[in-house]
Amino acid sequence: MQEVLIATVIWLVTHLGISSTPLRRVITGAIGEGLYLGLYSLLAAASLGYLIWVYTDVPRFDYLWLPNPDLYWVAKLTMPGAFILMLGGFMVKNPTAVGVRIEDPAQAAELARGVTRITRHPLQWAIIIWGIGHIVANGDNVSVVFFSGFLILSLAGSVLMDVKKAASLGEAWTAYANVTSNVPFVAILAGRNRLDFKELIMPIGAGLIVYAIAYYFHETYTGSIVI
C-alpha cells in the first residue's frame, strides 16, 4: 500500500508540481520550450511506468468494500462513454490541446464541435470516467489510491488548463469558454451550446469499436475482467 501511495504522489508531483506551476517558466526560460517538452515527456513517462509497475506488483489484501459483480456494471456501462470522449477529442481541433493557439474570437467559438460541445476537456473526462468506474468495481485500497491519482490529476488539470489558456489566449479563449464547459453537458443544459448528432457519428462509432476490442482483450493484458 505504501509503495503505490508513494508512486502516486510522484506521478502527481511530476505533473502538477512542474507543468502547472511557475517552475515551468523558470525551466523553459533556462533550457527552452523544445528541450523542456522532451525532458518533461521522458519524466512523465517514467513516473507513469513506475506507478503502473508498482500497482501490478503490490498485493491487494485490504478492501474498503468487497468485489461485487453487480458493481462491475458501473465500469461496463460508463467506459463506452469514456472511449467516445477520448477518441472524439482527437477528431477535432481543440484549443485546450498542447501547442494549439487561436487568435480570432470568432474562429474560437466555431471550434466547439463534436465531443467538445459536451466538454472542452474530453480526454480529461475520459480518464475521470475510467477512474471512477474502476474504483467502484475494484474496492481494494491499492486500486482506490491508484485510480484516485488519475482522478485528481485530470480534475485539477482541467481547471489549471483553463487558467493557463485564459492567460495565454485572452479574448479568443473567452469566446471558446462561453460556448463550452469543463463539466460535461453544462454548456448544453445552460443553452450555450447544443448537441449535433451528425458530428458524433464518427466518435461514437470509433469509441464503441475500440471499447469492444479493449473489452475482449482486457483480461489478457490486465488479468482482470473489469473494464
List the chain pLDDT tens, one digit each, 227 residues. 788 999 999 989 888 877 767 777 777 777 877 787 788 888 889 999 999 999 988 888 889 988 888 898 999 999 999 999 999 999 998 888 776 777 777 787 888 999 999 999 999 999 999 999 999 999 999 999 999 999 999 999 999 999 988 888 888 889 999 999 999 999 999 999 999 999 999 999 999 999 999 988 877 766 665 55
Q: Are 121 and 86 in contact (CB under 8 A)?
A: no
Cell numbers for 59: 498485493
CA distance 138 to 136: 6
The pTM assigned to this predicted structure is 0.90
pLDDT of residue 170: 87
pLDDT of residue 227: 54
pLDDT of residue 224: 62
Query: What sign does the CA torsion over 37, 38, 40, 45 have?
Result: positive
Helix, strand, or coil (residue 63): strand
